[in-house]
Structure 1
């Protein structure tokens, strides 16, 4: 299991900052914290998804949205999302805030994600090279295709990505893309 000791932002139910804590400790204590998920589309209205490396501190080997993470203490959420996109996927682009939601899930290793997840979207069509320490595989998929894949084998996808795909906000966004 690999995890860094970065301080991440703790929040209350209103997403107001209440402090910070070490990333592992926050997940061990199931504390509410701020996170982000990035959804990058191309000109064909396909979503870039990736498979997490197996040694992630949770959800290793599962497929998920383009990238995700936590802002560091003192870091703006959109800045963090762009930083992490570069670290994981090897590129950055303009991001637009879509919506935020709260979810809580405890994993088999007893770590808990208790997050207010800020979802961002972006558009990208250029070549890129992923970080092999973060990304096992990646692919571009249509929303109907990924919805069917998740329906058939939900256990292959991260909890938060499944929640995003179920969102009416995402469905409305995708309808505008078409």
Structure 2
């Protein structure tokens, strides 16, 4: 497993401009490449997980199945697959669906500013979570998730709150061509 202590700084067109320490990039709010993975089961439920309490930001918050930063020399697809297996013990086909840029303050004086590439996959079963990364997980239907998100947005990571409506719209397009 590759150490993930760096990020790739990019412009809004995803051209790599350099590499920086991950914490420094979040302290300075520098735009960098990331990915988020959304996993659904055959019942249409989404897999979400609660981040481990040891995370330097987003600790204890709920989010999508997996998210991380590709490292120099890795393709997005290989990085996403490797990280999903490392964090959740899941191996499945992933499809890159879209990307978006977001910017927002998070706890500990840090700033998320990412060009986030979103992958979607299907998996039936329960993950085998890595306790260093994940405190808990659950399969949840989208209506229940939407209600929870409306009542308690602070329980979720910033990127999840921003990406979820786009993922739901994309999945709707796929099921209603």
Q: State the shift of 1:5 in Å.
A: 6.5
Change (3 A) 1:5 1:86: closer
Deviation beyond 6 Å, 4+ runs, structure 1:
none
Equivalent residue, structure 2, for 1:129: 128
Question: 1:5–1:22: 8 Å Cα contact kept in structure 2?
Answer: no
Equivalent residue, structure 1, for 2:112: 113
In 1, distance between residues paired with 2:37 and 2:168? 12
> TM-score, with normalisation over the residues of structure 2?
0.92
Q: State the shift of 1:128 in Å.
A: 3.0
Q: State the shift of 1:6 in Å.
A: 2.0
> TM-score, with normalisation over the residues of structure 1?
0.92
Aligned ranges 1:60-99 → 2 under 5 Å = 60-99=59-98
Q: What 5-or-longer segments of structure 2 have no aligned partner?
A: none
Aligned ranges 1:22-171 → 2 under 5 Å = 22-167=21-166, 170-171=168-169
Q: State the shift of 1:40 in Å.
A: 0.5
Equivalent residue, structure 2, for 1:176: 174
Q: Deviations over 1:80-111 (max 9, x none)?
A: 11111011101221100111000011223111
Question: 1:28–1:110: 8 Å Cα contact kept in structure 2?
Answer: yes
Q: State the shift of 1:23 in Å.
A: 0.9
* Count of matched residue positions in the alignment of Structure 1 and Structure 2: 174
